[in-house]
Amino acid sequence: MPSRVRKFASTIKRLTDIALPNQCALCGNLSQELLCEGCDAQYWNEPRLRCATCALPLGASDMRRERDDTRAHCAACLESPPAFNDTLALADYRAPLDTLAVELKFRARLAAGETFARNLHALFEDSDLPVPDVIVPVPLSRARIVARGYNQAWAIARPLARSMGVPSDASIVARVRHTSAQSRLDQDARRRNVASAFSISGDVRGKHVGVVDDVMTSGATLDALARMLKLAGARRVTNFVALRTPKD
């Protein structure tokens, strides 16, 4: 084989190695799935007590209970409850699972969205939460959709809704204002930043809406979105987030 052809063949081989999901995204072991069996068993569903409202991890000392609610809550949610009712989160936003969120968001590895969805569905089945009437993704602004080509929250929301047997709709909520990157702002600035960032165009009156996002940081974005949904008549809002930042 001439060396030029050989070189071409090895380039093709390298490209298919990258394109085919034959390596675990976390440890690099051979795997037909996104995660190998070992990583799948090790990293999901860690036993972690979380606030039922905002999914913040709770220690034994900062656990509070309402008299009429057997679920645990953080002090902040009891003092000033956010507009959403419940949040399910798979795990904390930290290594190594943060890799999956980065792969999904910046490298279009949509299989990560399906993996998040599968595990969120299992978490939901273990909860006592009622089934939402509709599932919506946290929307991106038009500018960001154009730049990225897809919405990573939709890549989780669609397979999640399918497995729950619930309709999903990416057109109910739109992001009307392009907000600055949340990570550069403090908590108060984040609240102001996301206020009135969303508009609701579908009929959500009397509905229980499931809102899906890849990462929940301060919760200000989800709070603002839930506020808009409630103003539009939604009865209940449950967040489904893949990864939760433990603290700001």
Give the distance from CA 77 to its chain's centroid.
20
135 binds Zn ion (CB under 5 A): no
Min separation Cβ 234 and Zn ion, Å: 20
CB 198 within 8 A of CB 174: yes
241 binds Zn ion (CB under 5 A): no
Neighbours of 201 (CB within 10 A): 11
Strand ranges, E, within the chain? 64-65, 72-73, 86-92, 134-137, 173-175, 198-200, 208-216, 236-244
Beta bridge partners of 86: 238
Nearer to Zn ion, 85 or 151 (CB): 85
Residue written as token pair 């279009």: 108
**Among 26, 156, 161, 194, which residue sits at the site for Zn ion (rule: CB under 5 A)?**
26
Residue written as token pair 């008549």: 233
> What track of x and - describes contact with Zn ion for positions 46 through 85 (by CB under 5 A)?
-----x-xx-x-----------------x--x--------
Min separation Cβ 76 and Zn ion, Å: 6
CA dihedral 120, 125, 130, 134 (to 10 degrees): 40
Min separation Cβ 103 and Zn ion, Å: 13
**Among 39, 136, 155, 234, which residue sits at the site for Zn ion (rule: CB under 5 A)?**
39
Nearer to Zn ion, 27 or 131 (CB): 27
Nearer to Zn ion, 36 or 225 (CB): 36
Residue written as token pair 């930042």: 245
> What track of x and - describes contact with Zn ion for positions 194 through 223 (by CB under 5 A)?
------------------------------
Q: In the complex, which residues of this chain contact Zn ion (CB under 5 A)?
A: 24, 26-27, 29, 36, 39, 51, 53-54, 56, 74, 77
